[in-house]
Chain A
């Protein structure tokens, strides 16, 4: 069964303390893996798309990487404004447009 699992469920960091969020997936025919940031009461905000193993994308303090089984979202020297829920989603196979979402990682960064 196609599945996306994110870990940890929650993460508390001190400002400046770098860390990584994990997204493991088991899908047939990965078309793309997406990272989103979601603030409370708002819709997900697009961050990155990754298409193939070895690919990396970077934006400010965030860097996303992809292997054949998982993706990491690395946060370097986080700030309190990086606090949010980070969602990972995969687009599966070539016969459907459905996204499969992970359950998210709730990140809190303390000053």
Chain B
């Protein structure tokens, strides 16, 4: 079946550093991937849509200079949190669609100290 992977699953970084999260579609190609953020006991909040070969589309209120997205191939999208601060600590989840059905990665827990 369709599988979406993320790496790393957990990351702890110091305030001011940058962190890269990878999202891969393992057995299908995805021209579009999605990045979500989830706070404890809340639902998923769409941050941006990652488009292969073109610029990402960001949701209102999401800083594109802070959350850099690169969709370098049909199976890989990366999210880089630049100059991370404690308020960026969260659970980040990516998604890719196989035909009509969105599949989600296992998530990345980011903790900024």
A and B co-occur in one complex: yes
Taking Cβ atoms with an 8 Å cutoff, the residues of A that contact B are 31-32, 34, 36, 41-46, 49, 87, 89, 91, 97-99, 101-104, 106
Tell me the number of A-to-B contacts counted with CB atoms below 8 Å: 51
B32 in the interface, Cβ–Cβ < 8 Å? yes
Contact A36 B43 (CB under 8 A): no
Q: A87-B43, A97-B32 in contact; A43/B101 too (CB < 8 A)? A: no
Contact A104 B106 (CB under 8 A): no
Q: Specify which of B34, B46, B93, B101 is in contact with A46 (CB 8 Å cutoff).
A: B101
What chain B residues lie within 8 Å of A36 (beta carbons)? 104
- Complex Cα distance A27/B64, Å? 27
Q: A43-B106, A44-B93, A98-B49 in contact; A104/B101 too (CB < 8 A)? A: no
Question: What would 6 A/B residue contacts be, using CB atoms closer than 8 Å?
Answer: A31-B100, A34-B101, A36-B104, A43-B107, A46-B101, A106-B41
Q: Specify which of B43, B95, B100, B105 is in contact with A103 (CB 8 Å cutoff).
A: B43
Give the interface size class of chain B: 20 to 34
Contact B44 A101 (CB under 8 A): yes
What chain B residues lie within 8 Å of A89 (beta carbons)? 102
Q: Specify which of A41, A97, A104 is in contact with B97 (CB 8 Å cutoff).
A: A97
A96 to chain B: closest residue by CB: B49
**Interface positions of B from 32 to 50, Cβ below 8 Å from A:** 32, 34, 41-44, 46, 49
